[in-house]
Chain A
Amino acid sequence: MVRIFVEGTEHEVKEGLNLLQAVLDLGYDLPYFCWHPALGSVGACRQCAVKQFRNADDTTGMIVMACMTPVADGLRISIVDEEATAFRSAVIGWLMTNHPHDCPVCDEGGECHLQDMTVMVGHSRREHRFAKRTHRNQYLGPFINHEMNRCIACYRCVRFYRDYAGGDDLDVFGSRNRVYFGRVADGVLESPFSGNLVEVCPTGVFTDKTAKACSIRAWDLQTAPSLCPHCGLGCNTLPGERTGVLRRIRNRYHGEVNRYFLCDRGRFGFEFVNSPRRLGQPVIRANGEATVVSAADAVDRVAAIVRAGGAVGIGSTVASLEANFALRRLVGAERFVMGVGAVEAEHLRTVAAILRDHPARMPSLREVEAADAVLILGEDVTNTAPLLDLAIRQAVLNIPKERVRELGVPAWNDAVVRLVVNRQTGPLFIATPAATALDGIATQTVRATPPTIARLGDAIAKIVDNAVASPGDLPFAVARIVGPAARALRRATRPLVVAGTGTGDIAVLRAASNIARALSRHIPDTALALVVPDCNSVGAALFDAPDLSAIEGREDIRAVLVLEPARTSRERRAALDAVLDRADHVVVLDHLQSTVSDRAEVVLPAATFFECNGTLVNNEARAQRFYQVFAPGDEVRASWRWLQRICQQAHGEGSASWSGPDDLTAAMSAELPELGPIVGLVPRPGPGPRSRVPRQSHRVTGRTAVNAHLTIREPKPPTDDEAPMTFSMEGSPGRPPPDLVARYWSPGWNSVQALTRFQQEIGGAVRGGDPGIRLFADRVVDGDGAYYPPCDEPVPRYGEWLLVPLHHLFGSEPRSMESPGVAERAPAPYLGLNDDDADRLRVDPGDMVTVEIDSRAFELPFRLVDGLPSGCAGLPEGLPAIAGLPPGRWARLKGPS
């Protein structure tokens, strides 16, 4: 800690910070543009000028840039100094010379950092008498709108896009006030993190295109803390709603998980909530005729079906713990299965086993960023867990940055750090079936089939610890990575192994476990990051329920209750269809119309993640709660509320007499001790309305007019009996508890930059502690667990191709596909082959290939996939057309005749 003096007042601040960070941490207002907590300082905008004094007697002082000045003991500065104020005022005057008169039609208005800073500095009149320079805009894809006139050349966009997120299609062109931030030519921004430009850009150059056509000011949005449901990482989000329509998703800072950024799937994949295919009313179907019925009638019917006996419940990996538990209570633990196939269930069991007692830690994304050697085994993280990709991109800079430390350059001095790093990357080894976006920064990459990747993993583990069984010989092209990777991991102090369920081969997961186990014999800080397919896969795995194959073909099944089915993979779809085909009664709780809901006898409209409260467990077993953003219309209600009513109807009031989420979680933790800690996640409202957190900002508008055309009486807003929040602007005016932060706003800070006021320290934990609970935080691990035995390489079958799932950020997750932008970016169904195999089949890109799986033939257009091993054919996972194919692993291919 060092002492600094601001306006003569003494403060203790942490060593190694820059002055800007320190004064913001202390709560002072100091304008800035080019500095960003995740990107560091470059001192480009000259906006954060302060006066620095030599000692207490010095009254003259000198102007310094706060973001480029390290804090030092006894440092004396003044922010309000007249000269410094005049300097800052002049700077913003210059920055504004070319800024257009656009605020009324700019989507950034109302949450614009430039607006805030201009007001903070007091600049109100343009003194530049000459004409403004203008730029032409570019088409940047379905997500991002470009309005280059508004640029103040802070360079944050390219520093984020290129330096931080590793993109290379956004760049800066031109010189002086003609600089242009954009692509070489019009086109889609390729980075999966392009949406963050909306938040990174301090003004309205990059704005959210999906929200542009029906723009809403930030102050009018009703928001609540939520979670991203589109992958297993559990990123924290802030969805915003107005007039019953979900309008946008913004990032919610979590010190350990997503921190400052979101991926484009998470940011733009929310529109399924507003889909015309949303189920709104309970429906009973008889003789092919669907009738809308009242909620009570639907509950009666389902209760009658359950009472008749022979009902099984199919849980979901995309539903909350609460919904799954309510279903389990309704049908009984022994008749409750998880809606996944046998292969995936085996994966999830392995993941759960690793979480429970593996000597290596499951790292949070922040811990991933700290890793100094990374091995990715089989997983295409960019497409299955995008934020993990971003974290790994930071991790590979750790070794090159050691030199920065040696030079005594502070870590926040971004320009110097980049200069010293000079595009070097630390050890990153990638073994995947197809090329990945991370290949560019990898030390070495290999392409191999999943079984080979698994054997490669075992080979690496064997070098680290000889106790691992020998996996046998590897092809030379693959084997060359073994030595370097093993050495790099062994030398590291915080090695990281990344694997997951993405390859669909359990052996890969086991091999990764073996490597991490071997490493942790030597290195205590070994981390093993596992990627799971769905937002609650781990939570579902902790139910220890059997999978769909357990009830396949059973005779005693009369009725099936399906909870929010996610039929993304071929295996899941086939397994579910096999069960549904045999059932007399099918009941579905879901939010979207689907082929399952079309065949159901009773359809109950379930609330989406944004319309109810619940708990999800992410890939590192962090249980986090999401909160209702808005009250759904029609008869939509939370799945567990439906199931509770059915349960009480069928088995009596006492069978599910939970009054609220606290009761429910208490019951759940009593039955499933592993989920015990989640009891502590449920906040209890204090006495009185002032202890509740308002979901609307204090500036929300139109209250007496927005519904005036329907009723002049201004109905009371819905009351929230599940969370200590309100659906209005009324409530506690103070700082909310960390897990209930519904918006970032602080006096004078209307943009997302107000976030600094919600952190314990900049870049640290959320003020009051990061929300969520690690389930296995205090596990005791027996370090001497056994290694998994190596798997056998499947014998290549003559004339058949091994099918490998290929993941796509846009496309592999079906709910996000309801967003028009995501659907536009998603690939059409295809079959991927490498060059040689294409030659063998004599096909050209676009030709139709006949694919025969499990003796059923389909036609798919062929597409060249780089690096795919020979004998492997890639199928894009999760695309609706692909998910309908049979689940077999092998396929016969035939080119066009």
Chain B
Amino acid sequence: MTGLLAPLADVALVLGLVLTMAAFLIWYERRLLALWQDRYGPNRVGPFGLLQVVADVIKIFFKEDWVPPFADRTVFVLAPMVIMVAVLMSFAVVPISPEIVVADSSVGVLFILAMSSMTVYASVLGGWASNNKYALLGGLRAAAQMVSYEVFMGISLMGVVVLAGSFRLGDIVEAQSGLWNCVPQFLGMLVFAVAGVAETKRVPFDLPEAEAELVAGYHTEYSGMKFGMFFVGEYLGVTLISALIVLLYFGGWRGPWLPPVVWFLLKTLAVIAVFFLLRASLPRPRFDQLMAYGWKVLLPLALLNLLVTGLVVLS
């Protein structure tokens, strides 16, 4: 009985943690952006405005859940679910502490890469099913951008895998007991972080939903909770990428004095803060610049990183 309950408890714990995190991020991002823009941000609802999210959720639930008459209804409804499911699945292999992990898969890294390529479908299908030119353009951009950056993302990860000699995330964290990977794999970390920003379609790489030219990109036609799912999916993606950066390059839950979970959360939040700082400070590139940057700069860098790492390990 306990054998059955323990994984379920893990699932509940991780799910709860992750979803709370996503909700918390909404407040976190607004407060941080405000901080960097000489404002206060939401500070009215609840202590420090923490309940702003609750208010927003109530609002979003009461919005009209409208499906455009010209949309492909089934796909339109399915798309936001895909992103939620794909990202939440990824968290299954993320070890929050040595004890808390849903499925300590031996190919965790590969599983996450696989799942993150699933999220492409959400954008593409959402854009396609909306039957709206802006949404379609957004979906196309999302596909091109995410498929491209997935390549460097995978390659940049390989350095870490080579160092640890395992695809299991737990092993990778254990392998950093001496020196965090951010030092030997600095280049790989940079490439992975940039690719992560692109994967989650965050500013400055938010071209799929570039509001200046595409209204809201692939989710132009979405409203109510379906929009909410895209929204939460994006924050989940940010959390996932941040968690991965922490696991792969900053020693995961490792740290003195404090319990591992706390260390893991603190590190993740710090990385997320960098994501938000990027949004606060950088302008959006043109799409061709984005692609050129990926293929002409990041790909060689990632390959170089892998090569050097391989050489060092072999030698």
- On whether A and B touch (CB less than 8 Å), the answer reads no
Give chain B's interface residues, CB within 8 Å of chain A: none
Give chain A's interface residues, CB within 8 Å of chain B: none
